[in-house]
Amino acid sequence: MLFWVLAFLVLCAFLWNYKGQPKIANITDKYIFITGCDTGFGNLAARTFDKKGFHVIAACLTESGSTALKAETSERLHTVLLDVTDPENVKRTTQWIKNQVGDKGLWGLINNAGVLGVLAPTDWLTVEDYREPIEVNLFGLIDVTLNMLPLVKKARGRVINVSSIGGRLSLGGGGYSPSKYAVEGFNDSLRRDMKAFGVHVSCIEPGLFKTQLADPVNTTEKKLAIWKHLSPDIKQQYGEGYIEKCVEKLKSTTSCVNLDLSLVVECMDHALTSLFPKTRYVVGKDAKTLWIPLSHMPAILQDFLLLKQKVKLANPKAV
């Protein structure tokens, strides 16, 4: 009996990952909207889906990002300037998209826009340091989704929310992980609410990828800017060379960073075009072999492994 159960599970796993899964038809008739297309995953996704024949509407934060993207794509692709934290901007963009798609509705909404914010020890930060990533990564995502849902429901389409392994396991202080944890919760409730309307909702959880979002130089500069304004007590507790040691630790772990952004876009593609999209996509070898398994382990083991990667404080008792 156990043999047949194992055989059934192996067969299910094979069918689940089989690349010849049935796909949707008439891609060239379908509209998709992607946020955060200036760089990174969003930019590559816009260019990829444009080549596949989708009618892509790509939201960029900057005029330069919009111009560069249009220069690399076909006339089918349209760009819009969008700040997801501006409710009026979101409403105007929604109305413009509604006029573009007409009765077809919106087949795909890919919520990709996001910021890292400040990554630093919690006691270095203020509430304002938490606010930006939560405003963009969570409230911006929710606002865009709520405005676009009527168009997605009309097409019985797909919503794809780009989260992170930082939504399963917090790797540092700051607003990034709290925002991604909340995205996971929003994604789950939205998925269940939309089932009755035939709308599939998927969540993508990339590991550590080499993008502008996770630029170590930018992260270090933000830490240094905060360090300058810390109290003498805090500086004494952490030690003057703390940031430099953190940078050295970071360099030693660069082998874990994924370089191929197309891995994430392939998951977006599956979520958009498969007749049976997954509810979650874990992307990157580091995410599959380390971060996600670690997130299911007891807290004492998580703390032991993650604290080994942290730089020791110079004098934690100097409070």
Residues that are catalytic: 176
Q: Which helix (H) or strand (E) holds 203?
A: strand 200-206
Here the contacts of 132-137 (C-beta below 8 Å, separation 24 or greater) are: 132/175, 133/174, 133/175, 133/176, 133/178, 133/179, 134/175, 134/178, 134/179, 134/182, 135/85, 136/84, 136/85, 136/179, 137/113, 137/175, 137/176, 137/179, 137/180, 137/183
Q: How many CB atoms lie within 10 A of CB 269?
A: 17
Residue type for 261, please? L
Half-sphere exposure of 14 (CA within 13 A, CB side): 6
How far apart CA 64 and CA 78 sit, in angstroms, is 14
